[in-house]
Amino acid sequence: MDTSRFVVISGCSGGGKSTLLIELDRRGYATVEEPGRRVVKEEMLGEGLALPWVDEIAFARRTIALALADRATATRVAGWVFFDRGLIDAAAALQHLTGEPTLATVGQVHRYHPRAFLAPPWSEIYVTDPERRHGLDAAIAEYQRLLDVYSSLGYEVTILPKVGVHERADLILRALAE
């Protein structure tokens, strides 16, 4: 299965990733919403046990399962597929929480395009909401872990500049055309 057309946009919570995916979708590209956000929405409608502020490990495991399902679905789509976070982010979270060597398996078997795009911390646009309850300090710590993880897995990491969403989308599409 050729997953080199799967492009991951990761990085800091509240760094503009979801807005960027909306712009790429508007331009006609296939996009996949952040698995963690979808898990939180589902859990908040029900018992609410696999939430990052209730049971982080259960949350990470549910996110991994959803990210795997997203990848399977994306194989049926032609062209570029842009992921708002994804499997590596979820596996990195689980490994950080438990020490389980999740990334050794997930990170090598389930690859994305060789270039990963990371949104850096951007305090001017960072906000919390019912689904994102952690503060900017926690988001920055997570960003640093992800920066290390993607680099250690051999991805060419491109840090997205703090510019408008149209400029960010243009930058990504130009980089992928190279």
> Dihedrals φ, ψ of 167, to 5°?
-65, -40
- Domains defined along the chain, listed by start: 6-177 (3.40.50.300)
Partners of 176 in the beta sheet?
Answer: none
Note the maximum CA span of the chain.
47
As given in the structure block, the two tokens for residue 18 are: 């979801």
pTM of the model: 0.89
- Structure confidence by residue, pLDDT tens digits, 81-129: 999 998 999 999 999 999 999 998 887 789 999 999 998 875 665 556 5
90, 35 Cβ separation under 8 angstroms = yes
Distance, in Å, from the CA atom of 130 to the CA atom of 81, rounded to the nearest integer, reads 28
What gap in Å lies between CA 27 and CA 22, rounded to an integer? 9
The pLDDT value given to residue 99: 93
- The pLDDT, as a whole number, for residue 107 is 77
- The two tokens of residue 107 are 């990170």
Structure tokens at 85: 């976070």
Which helix (H) or strand (E) segment holds residue 175: the answer is helix 165-177
The pairing of beta strand 81-84 with beta strand 6-11:
parallel
pLDDT tens across 43-76, in order? 888 878 888 777 889 889 999 999 999 999 999 9
Question: What is the C-alpha separation between 100 and 114, in angstroms, rounded?
Answer: 24
